[in-house]
Amino acid sequence: MITVYGASDDLIEIDGDISEEFGYHNEDKGDLLAFSDGTVLRIVFTDAAIWRITTVARGSAELTIEQAPEDDESNYTDRATLIGAVWVVHGLALAR
């Protein structure tokens, strides 16, 4: 199991079977995370100071995304959980 979420205003956190921290770079369009099962997620820090995670491509892993409320300062990040992915790559662009 892997959980993805944002921290502060410039960090992307990966916890669970993999633990890693990526710097956030693409403030205009968000950063991309590609997983070994084929899942691709976009994570963006919004003008409302909330981390939002959306699905770009669905892979074979079981994926759930829990959305953070708009008005809760103690819960300012969506959380994506993947069951079945083995590795993750952080990037800024996706070519199809």
| Angstrom distances, CA of residue 35 to CA of 24, 71, 78, 95 | 17, 30, 18, 15
Q: Is residue 96 part of a domain?
A: no
User: Which residues span the domain enclosing 28?
Assistant: 2-91
Q: Is residue 87 part of a domain?
A: yes
Q: Is residue 67 part of a domain?
A: yes
| End-to-end CA separation in angstroms for the chain | 27
Q: Which residues sit opposite 41 in a β-bridge?
A: 33, 55
User: pLDDT tens for residues 11-56?
Assistant: 999 999 999 999 999 878 899 999 999 999 999 999 999 999 999 9
Tell me how many domains the chain contains.
1
* 95 against 80, higher pLDDT: 80
11: three-class secondary structure by DSSP:
strand
pTM, entire model: 0.93
For residue 38, give both structure tokens: 């084929």
- Position 72 scores a pLDDT of 81
Q: Is residue 58 part of a domain?
A: yes
Q: Is residue 28 part of a domain?
A: yes
